[in-house]
Amino acid sequence: MSREVRIDKVPQRIISLSPTSTEILFALGLGDKVVGVTRYCDYPEEAKKKEIVGGFADPDPEKIMALKPDLILAFGTLQKSLASKLEERGQTVFWFYPHTFADILESFESIGKLTGRLTAAQQLRKRVEERVEAVQKRVKDIPEQERPTVFRVHSGSPRTIGTIGGEAFQTGVYHLAGGKNIFADTKKDYFEVDLETILELDPDIIVVAGEDETEVKTKIKSREGWEGLTAVKTDRIVVIPAELICRPGPRLGLTIEKLAKEFYPERFP
């Protein structure tokens, strides 16, 4: 999902309002054109040296305007209204929010077209596709009924948990890695669910974002009532950095590869 943008000349001053956009721009060789990012734009390392215009949920419009950009990349539902407001102030804004693997690949090319880097975008798309295809070759013969069910823990209290539905790009990521989101049929991207429902569905694997695997696993296992979950009893708790699992960008192939190795360690020696 994206908003069509017309642009007369190749932009020379670009502001990225999300880590995903920043990674795409740098992957396309546009790092020198990036003049502003959010405080969460931490990859690649060079992105940290750029001017900060605020956070993901609260970019400062005045800081954005002061940098005199000729292209702004906005992302997701939280930034949709901001994109409209910036457009009202005469700014050129490309807003996008991919929900599927195909959407993500298309976003590379859309940004490539806007920035005069279409060939680089097509090459990036090919690299990601090839990495995912390599994973698919190892898991495609696994019958649907034998694929592990996955529950993505986002946030919330021990009894009310934030998770993702079928409209979130991560659902497709788990599918490509050989798993099945237990809420793939829920027509939402993010929502909250109670513990009773999770206990009833009893996922094979829990996926949670974090850096310290031991610490994150300990927190999950210590949640009241969670000891009855199969994933907890079998220690199938997959901890993956948020910068990988939460960003539909150039490192998507790496993310799918890491998940597949966790889902099927015997197939990825």
Q: What is the pTM of this model?
A: 0.94
Query: Is residue 153 a contact partner of residue 161, using CB atoms and an 8 Å limit?
Result: yes
Q: How far is the C-alpha of 105 from the C-alpha of 110, rounded, in Å?
A: 9
Look at residue 1 and tell me whether its pLDDT is greater than 80. no
CA 177-183-186 angle, 5° bins: 125
- Per-residue pLDDT of 148-177, as tens digits, reads 999 999 876 667 899 999 999 999 999 999
Token pair for residue 73?
Answer: 């990349």
Domains and CATH numbers, the chain: 14-119 (3.40.50.1980), 141-264 (3.40.50.1980)
- Per-residue pLDDT of 61-91, as tens digits, reads 999 999 999 999 999 999 999 999 999 999 9
Look at residue 29 and tell me whether its pLDDT is greater than 80. yes
- Per-residue pLDDT of 173-213, as tens digits, reads 999 999 999 999 999 999 999 999 999 999 999 999 999 99
Max Cα separation, the chain?
59
φ, ψ at 195 (rounded to 5°): -60, -35
Q: How far is the C-alpha of 196 from the C-alpha of 213, rounded, in Å?
A: 26
